[in-house]
Amino acid sequence: MALSEIAASLYAWDLADETVERCLDNLQGLAGVNSAYLVGLMHKEKRPLHARFYPHNPVRKYYAPEDSRVYWTPRADVYTGRIKPLQSDRDFLSGTDWLDHLIGEARSRGMKTGCEISHTIIDAQIAREQFPDVLQRDVFGNTVGPFEAREAQRALPCLNNPDVQEYLVSLIRDLVLNHDIDYIQTCLVMFGSGYSASNTLNSTVASAGWSALLATTTGGCFCDSCKRKAIAEGLDWDDIVHELRHLNLVSSGRDLEEAHEAQLLRESNYSEGELLLENTALTTWLQFRRRSVDELFKLVTEAAHDARPGIDFRYNTYMAQPELAGLNFTSAFSYVDSVRESDYSDQLGTPEGVAVKRAKLMKARRALGYEKPLIAALGVRPNATSETLRNSVRAAVEAGCDGLSLGHYDGATMERLRAVTDGMRQWEGAESDWIHAPGEYA
């Protein structure tokens, strides 16, 4: 199959600073982009993410966004619950529906359009002040989240909280009902995966299996909504809390007996399998998280398809080890229409990085089945090289992908955009590469 969709993400401030015409000219002209989406609900994350400064923004050197703002104009009547969307207070962004702005220009070029709800949907500071009850809690009742991105000090809402679910459904309905988008994409943070090695896609060095799994006991969630749901499912919540408090202390080393036990484990040949066999309440809780995430995917896909049956609900992966956040690809992917595998390991600039990408694509392909599109992300930013990008296109071809998705234009260089087209030609990613006339090569 061909890599028929070449997508690219844009931020509202890219459009404001560079103009939508210039952004799409560059993406279309150099990388063959035929699908553009706005990161319409963006979390607090310095842009560009890896490089200190923008390579081609004519207005500013870098940008520090507000937390979890929507960059379209929300329809107030859709948001009937407690939590409402916030718009930007920055002068150069307020008052414009940046999604419609992008859609207008993209449609005039015959492109697909989409919108992404990114990692977090609630401003962390406002959540702590106004909605502390919706935040994920660890097994001792502390809020969960700042470890996910230290500089952003995130506050993660619980996926099982009814107010959070209602808000998420409203966001999706607003986008699908009121905007001319082909796909709605999300990389919403799931359950906090605890204090271990970074669980982002760019962390290619996985921590030891059992210790990463054990660290989930320092994550979420043990809030009242989770407790109610677990008890309704017939689970012994007190037993779960009792066992996981012990495991939390072993993982964190925050008491003498538990720290000693952790020392023995680290100096032993302990395994993930033993951890699960020994701790049946842990296993029960991990399965409970998985069911919770599956049900969230079901809720989201039903909301999107109720709003418009033909909408494409695209999940955007964001974790090196999604299982540590409760996400099991095989069960959750039964509720999606397509997947963007968001690996950016090409940015390591090495063949090993490309191998990591290939492995993640194979994992997603197997879980997704063969009927739904799998879109491979390409990190077109500094640290990636033209060679790793061309080889990433090869990995996408070899993993049976259906498209590419560039992340992110703001940090891309023109050379790396050209590498996408070069890689497509080299690895024959387009159907036109397979159609030739007799005598053409004589």
Residue type at 159?
L
Q: What angle in degrees, to the nearest 10, is found between the helix axes of 162-178 and 280-307?
A: 30
Judged by CB, which is closer to Zn ion: 133, or 428? 133
As measured in angstroms, the least distance from the Cβ of 320 to Zn ion is: 23
Which member of 93, 144, 221, 374 binds Zn ion (CB under 5 A)? 221
Smaller CB separation from Zn ion, 284 or 334: 284
Residue 412 exposure: Cα atoms within 13 Å on the Cβ side: 28
375 binds Zn ion (CB under 5 A): no
Cβ-based nearer residue to Zn ion, 162 or 253: 162
**Closer residue to Zn ion (CB): 190 or 275:** 190
Do residues 336 and 304 lie in contact, with contact meaning Cβ atoms separated by under 8 Å? no
Residue 437 neighbours by CB under 8 Å, 6+ apart: none
To Zn ion, the closest distance from the beta carbon of 104 in angstroms equals 40
User: Among 111, 127, 223, 404, which residue sits at the site for Zn ion (rule: CB under 5 A)?
Assistant: 223
- The CB-of-405 to Zn ion minimum distance in angstroms stands at 31
Angle between helices 414-426 and 386-398 (to 10 degrees): 40
CB of 196 to Zn ion, least distance (A): 20
With contacts defined by CB under 5 A, name the span among 225-233, 285-293, 339-347, 433-441 that binds Zn ion: 225-233
Tell me the site size for Zn ion, rule CB under 5 A: 6
Rounded least distance, CB 189 to Zn ion, Å: 13
From the list 260, 70, 256, the residue with the least C-alpha distance to 179 is 70
Which residue from 76, 73, 16, 10 is spatially nearest to 42, judged by alpha carbons? Answer: 10
By CB under 5 A, the residues from 229 to 288 that bind Zn ion are: none
- 3-class secondary-structure state, position 43: coil
Number of Cα atoms under 13 Å in the Cβ half of residue 289: 26
What minimum distance in Å lies between the beta carbon of 18 and Zn ion?
41
Our CB check for Zn ion shows the closer of 225 and 338 to be: 225
Rounded to 5°, the CA angle 412-418-421 comes to 125
Range list of H helices, 279-350: 280-307, 329-332
Residues 121-180 touching Zn ion, rule: CB under 5 A, are 158, 160
Tokens of 20: 């939508």
Stretch touching Zn ion by CB under 5 A, among 222-230, 356-364, 409-417, 428-436: 222-230
| Choices 45-53, 223-231, 271-279, 303-311 (CB under 5 A): range interacting with Zn ion | 223-231
Task: Show the tokens assigned to 54.
Answer: 């923008």
The smaller minimum CB distance to Zn ion, of residues 223 and 406, is found at 223
Q: How far is the CB of 134 from Zn ion (least distance, A)?
A: 9
Q: Which is nearer to Zn ion, 3 or 223 (CB)?
A: 223
Which residues share a beta bridge with 63? 47
Distance CA 259, CA 335 (A): 41
**Chain center to CA of 245:** 29
Please state the closest distance from residue 245 (CB atom) to Zn ion, in A: 16
Stretch that binds Zn ion, among 54-62, 179-187, 218-226, 239-247 (CB under 5 A): 218-226
Between CA 8 and CA 15 the distance in angstroms is 13
Stretch near Zn ion under the rule CB under 5 A, chosen from 6-14, 213-221, 231-239, 363-371: 213-221
> Cβ 158 to Zn ion, closest distance in Å?
3
Minimum Å distance from CB 144 to Zn ion?
9
Contacts of 268 (CB under 8 A, 6+ apart): none
Task: Please answer whether residues 18 and 416 qualify as being in contact, where contact means their C-beta atoms are separated by less than 8 angstroms.
Answer: no
CA–CA distances in Å: residue 137 to residues 156, 173, 195, 217, 226: 9, 28, 14, 11, 10
**According to CB under 5 A, which one of 83, 226, 303, 401 is a site residue for Zn ion?**
226
Token pair recorded at residue 406: 């560039």
> Quick one: 160 or 218, whose CB is closer to Zn ion?
160
Please say which residue, 24 or 223, places its beta carbon nearer to Zn ion: 223
Contacting residues toward Zn ion, per CB under 5 A: 158, 160, 221, 223, 225-226
